[in-house]
Structures are given as structure tokens and as C-alpha cells.
Chains A and B, each alone.
Chain A
Amino acid sequence: MSTLHLSFYSAFTLSSLGLAFHRTHLVAALLCLESMLLSMYIALSTWPVETQMTSSALLPMLTLTFSACEAGTGLALLVASSRTHGSDHLHNLNLLQC
């Protein structure tokens, strides 16, 4: 595949792995989530250019909006959890443990 494709495939994969295998901090997971969305934005942006399909040129804008909202939600959750637990260490979030 072309270099462009490789770049955002690998960016997406690495970020998702980073999301899945994060170690301590919640903010790292959120950052990985952001980079996933970023790579998806890039991919969605280059896709109408490649296929010359201009009707789907709106898609990256929608994605960006949603990602921003989502980032805000994530940060709000981060702040809330750090207010209650005192830090954003992930092993504190074990309320569902049986």
C-alpha cells in the first residue's frame, strides 16, 4: 500500500494498542483515543481525494466535531475521577470487581 495508507493504518493500530495496553494513567488512554480519532480524520480526509467522491467530503468535519465532544467528555470524566479518587491511576477504577 502507499505510504499514506501505511501511515494512518499504523497510527491507528498503534494508538488502539496503546489504548488497550495502557499502564497507569487514564490520560494516556485518552491521548491514545485522540490519536486514533486523528488518524481516522486523516484517513477520511484523503479518501474523497483518492476516490474523487466529493459527496463524502463532509465526513471529516463530522468526525472532528464528534471527536472534540468526546475529548471533552473524556477530560470531564478524568477530572471527576481525579477529584474523587485523588489521582487518575487506573487501578483505582475497580468498582465493578467482584
Chain B
Amino acid sequence: METQLLLNSCMLTPMMIILMPTLLPLLSKSLQNSPLIITHTIKSAFLTSLLPLTLFMYSGTESITLCWEWKFIMNFKIPISLKIDQYSIMFLPIALFVTWSILQFALWYMASDPHLTKFFFYLMLFLIAMLILTIANNMFLLFIGWEGVGIMSFLLIGWWQGRAEANTAALQAVLYNRIGDIGLILSMAWFATTLNTWEMQILPSTQMSIFPLLGLILAATGKSAQFGLHPWLPAAMEGPTPVSALLHSSTMVVAGIFLLIRTHHMLATNQAALTLCLCLGALSTLFAATCAIMQNDIKKIIAFSTSSQLGLMMVTIGLNLPQLAFLHISTHAFFKAMLFLCSGSIIHSLGGEQDIRKMGGLQKTLPITTSCLTIGNLALMGTPFLAGFYSKDLIIENLNTSYLNTWALLLTLLATSFTATYSLRMTLLVQTGPVRLPPITPMNENSPTIIYPITRLALGSIMAGLLITSFIVPTKTLPMTMPTLTKTAAISATILGIIMATELTNMTHTLTQPKQTNITNFSSMLGFFNYLTHRTASTSLLTNGQKIASHLIDYSWYKKMGPEGLADLQLSAAKTSTLLHNGLIKAYLGSFALSILIIILYSH
């Protein structure tokens, strides 16, 4: 009993610590924020959050739910219900650790920024929104966190507001997330009207209609950049590198997957929804990996790598293994954030150069950064016993030993080899080979504010997999026995990718022009997805709007058939009969005679 009370209060302590920089400046003039204060806040919150984690692991608690009701007025009660279970209690220290390292890195990276405090404040607000999302027990609070991370993503991607591409990218992010939000709101509305609740626990695990599940999957597609709503993620690299590291690799983009993890008991019974997740994830992972092979911008390669890993997480959800998906989220956070920080260090050291074709031989000049880059890439590829291995290899093993869509399996295996390909390509082009830099570069990685975060995350990338898997209890039995080929499927796919990568880099070192084939064009133009969809979506909407509003209503009904049409009709009749009214008596008398004749003939 005391353990649980202790756990409860220890869980709330880091939350309170994080909220301090938002509240204290309002209370007194002397307690203004500064970047260093915010960094130390997050660091202390991380250290404090390790305590509830250890308590949770050793006491064997399943979950703790905290319920408050915020009584606005008499009958309007806002339920604030927090759930502390293995997912949220594990996510909290990991998110805080990664954020601490990123903030420390941002002190060096964005040191020349005039609004550094605001930048740090935005990052902290983002973290608060993300944590609200993770500890939410009802859809209401989750929605608050969801929208919060969306807004902060918009503000942070467009941090350098003067840059038109940054504004476009921020807008793109918001629009694509909005399309996903439609799905979330749809599900929430369905829950509210059919089940009369928004609490996660009351949502049924029995057979239910696929409608809200489709809404949730749409929300995850939007937020986690699955295929169909994916273009915003590579475009989001317009933001500063700390933003890319925090939002678009570790925390925000996993919000969609996290939603599906929280609601997995509803998905578990609906095989159609599971298959949809599976195929969508497989398609996303392969598409992103294909696009990553041809990229030349180091940040875009890592962005597509994130997108590919998100597809892999979606595949895991489709296999009905939410715990494994969460494990992949946790391990992925470490090495992906580290990859981004290393790329940030490289970019700054080369004076703003982001093209890997203009880098080379950095292993001797930036040893710490490049070593950590190598560690990160190896972890990403799933090298045995680094962090990525524990989650990725398990996912591939489960894929191979489950009864599922073969196409999804093939796509995922292909994407695994592509992962190895582009990672190794990036590593080889950046670190080894002839130096393709300009002779004078401000290469300097000697500041502790850059070394400590990267090495910390490198340590995490190596140890995290082992630590997390040692201490969590799996809810489903993992496949233990399988044929040797199946067991080594992931490793062999990776080695195949490595061989392909070495072939690619050997080809690029010769002086032949790369030939443009259809496949290379497809890959480097990101599948032409942006060009096909962005223009057609808006033009079709606008054309239909014009057809209905302008052509149909204004022209047809008001002009042709309505008042003006009637006037036109009268006018044409009048014009025809004007010819007859020529003022000559003969016409009138003639018509008189004719009519008399007709009357006489008719009456007889």
C-alpha cells in the first residue's frame, strides 16, 4: 500500500517540476525563464522520474488510475483521469532523458538565436502536451495533448519564419495532421454517442463496428505519417535540428502509434482493422525506405528513416503486439534522437552544409560525432544486442511466425534491407572516402554541451534495449522456436542491404554520371506523391465549389431559369412580334380578316 502511495506521489513530482517554468515567471518578476533553467528543470524531472519507474518495476503494479473531476459549474464536470501504467511510466523517463539531451544540445546549436528562451519554452510546452497525451486515461485529455503537440509542431517547424519553405512546411504539417484529427474526432463522437463514455477502460473489447477503429487508424495515419498522409514529415525538416530530433523522431510522431497502443483492446478483435494496420504499415515502411535511398540531404534521410520505422511500428500494431510496438518506440527514441543530434553537429561544423555529397572523411575530424553516428546507424539497422535489435528483431521474428498477409511480410523484409542500405550509404558518404568539403570549415566539436548529449544518447542506444527488456513483463508469449532461416531472416536482410550499400557507394566513387531510370526517378521524386495529390486535391475542391456555388446556383437558377430567364423569354417573344407591329393598317386589317375567316370556318 505504501509503495503505491509513494509511486503515486513520485509520479506527480516530475510533472510538477516540468510545470514550474510555465508558472513561476507569472508569479514574480525575478523568476524569469532562461534556457539553462529550462534544461536543468528537465534534467531534475528526469532524475526524479526514475524513482517511480523503479518502484513500478519492483512492486509489480499493473496500473494506477487517478481520477479528478474539475467542476466548472454545477452540472459541467470535466473528468481529468490519469493512467499510470507500464506505457506511461516507461515513456516518461525516456522522453525526459531524450528531451534533456536535446535541450543541452540546443544550447550549443541555437546559441546565436535571439529568441532562445522562447524556443526552449516552446519545446517544453511541447513536452508537457506530449506527456498529457501519454498519461491520459480518457479521450478528452488525449485530445488536448494531441492538439497541443500539433500546435507546437506548427510553431516549431516554422521557427525561422522569414523562410518561405519553413512556413509551407509548417502549414503542410498542420493540414495533414488535421486530416488525421478528423478521424480522431469521428471516433470520439462515435464513442460519445454509442457508448456514452470517453474513458479508455470502458471502451469495449468485444466485437464492435469497424467505424471508430477506422477513425483511430486515420488519426494514427495523420499523426504518425503513414503512407497517404506522409509528406509532412520530410517537409518538417525545415525546422531547426533540435525540433526534428524531439518532435519528428522520438515523441510527436509516435503519438499516433501510442493512440493505437492505448486502444489496442478494441483493435484486437477486429481482424479487418488489424490487416489494415498491417498493410498500411508495410506500405509506409517500404515507401519511406525507398525514398530514403535516393536522398542527399542528411536530415531528410533520417526523416525518411523515422517514417520507415513508424511504418514498422504500425506493422507491429497490426500483428496485435502493442507491447512490442511500445518497446520499439522506446528504443527508437534513443538512436533516432542521437542520429539527429549527430547530424546537427555535422551541419554546424561544416558551416551549414547538409548535402552528403559534399561531406566525406569526417571520421578523422569529428571523431565523437561520427562514432556516435555509426552507433546510431548500427542500432537502427538492428545490429545484434544494440538497442534496436531487441525490438526490431523481435518484430521480424513475430512477422515471420504469424499467420498474416504475405505481401506485408515481403514489404517489411525489403524495407529492412533498404534501412541497412541507406544507413550505410549515409555513413560511408559522410564519414569515409575522399573529402569533398571546402577547405576552410568551422569544424569544432569540443564543446561539452555537444559532447555530453550525444554520448549520453549513445550510451542509451547501446544499453536501453537490454535494460527495458530485462524489466518489463511481456503480456504475450513471444515465439521461441522457429527454423534457422526464419531466425536469421532479419540479419540476412540487413546484410543484403549492407552489400547493396557498398555496391552503391563504390559506384558513386567513379566518375560516371548516374543514369536516370524510371526507378531512380520514382525514388528521388518521393513517388511523385506530393505532385499528384497536392494540386488535384485543392483544384478538385475548388472546381466542385465553383460548379455548385457559381455555375449551378448563380448562373443556372438565377440567370437561366429564374427571373432573368423569364425576362429573356419575354424579350425574345417581344422581339419577334415587333416585326409585325409596323404601324401599317394593312397588317391589322389582314389579321382581322384572317381571324374572321378562321372563326367562320371553325363554327361551321
User: Which A residues form the contact surface with B (CB < 8 A)?
Assistant: 16-17, 19-22, 90-91, 93-98
Contacts and interface: CB of A to CB of B under 8 A. Distances in A.
B593 A90 contact: no
B583 A95 contact: yes
Interface of B: 578, 581-586, 589-590, 592-593, 596
B593 A21 contact: yes
A29 B514 CA distance: 101
Given A20-B586, A94-B582, A96-B583, 11 more contacts: A16-B596, A17-B593, A19-B589, A20-B589, A20-B593, A21-B590, A22-B586, A90-B586, A93-B583, A94-B583, A98-B578
Contacts of A19: 589
Nearest to B594: A20
A97 B581 CA distance: 6
A76 to B, nearest CB: 17
Question: Which of B583, B584, B586 gathers the greatest number of chain A CB atoms within 10 Å?
Answer: B586
Contact of A98 (B581, B589, B592, B593): B581
A19 B583 CA distance: 17
Contacts of B586: 20-22, 90
Contact of B583 (A17, A21, A22, A97): A97
Contacts of A95: 583
Nearest to B589: A20
A4 B596 CA distance: 23
Contact of A97 (B584, B589, B590, B596): B584
Contacts of B590: 20-21
Centre residue among B578, B581, B593, B596 by max chain A CB count within 10 A: B593
A18 B585 CA distance: 13
Nearest to B600: A13
Contacts of A98: 578, 581, 583
A93 B593 contact: no
Contacts of A91: 584
Contacts of A90: 584-586
A91 B583 CA distance: 9
Nearest to B597: A17
A40 to B, nearest CB: 16
Contacts of B592: 20
B593 to A, nearest CB: 4
Contacts of A22: 586, 589
A56 to B, nearest CB: 25
Contacts of A21: 586, 589-590, 593
A85 B578 CA distance: 25
27 contacts: A16-B593, A16-B596, A17-B593, A19-B589, A20-B586, A20-B589, A20-B592, A20-B593, A21-B586, A21-B590, A21-B593, A22-B589, A90-B584, A90-B585, A91-B584, A93-B583, A93-B585, A94-B582, A94-B583, A95-B583, A96-B583, A97-B581, A97-B583, A97-B584, A98-B578, A98-B581, A98-B583
B515 to A, nearest CB: 80
Contacts of B581: 97-98
A93 B582 CA distance: 10
Residue among A17, A20, A93, A97 with most chain B CB within 10 A: A20
A19 B590 CA distance: 9
B584 A94 contact: yes
Contacts of B593: 16-17, 20-21
Nearest to B583: A97
A18 B584 CA distance: 16
A93 B589 CA distance: 14
A48 to B, nearest CB: 26
The 5 closest A-B pairs by CB, nearest first: A97-B583, A20-B593, A96-B583, A94-B583, A20-B589
Nearest to A98: B581
Name which of B585, B589, B593 has the most chain A CB atoms within 10 A of its CB.
B585
A96 B585 CA distance: 10
A19 B581 CA distance: 19
A75 to B, nearest CB: 17
A97 B582 CA distance: 5
Contacts of A97: 581-584
A51 B335 CA distance: 130
Nearest to A17: B593
B37 to A, nearest CB: 91
Contacts of B578: 98
A16 to B, nearest CB: 7
Nearest to A95: B583
Contacts of B582: 94, 97
B262 to A, nearest CB: 83
A17 B592 CA distance: 10
Nearest to B591: A20
A95 B583 CA distance: 7
Contacts of B585: 90, 93
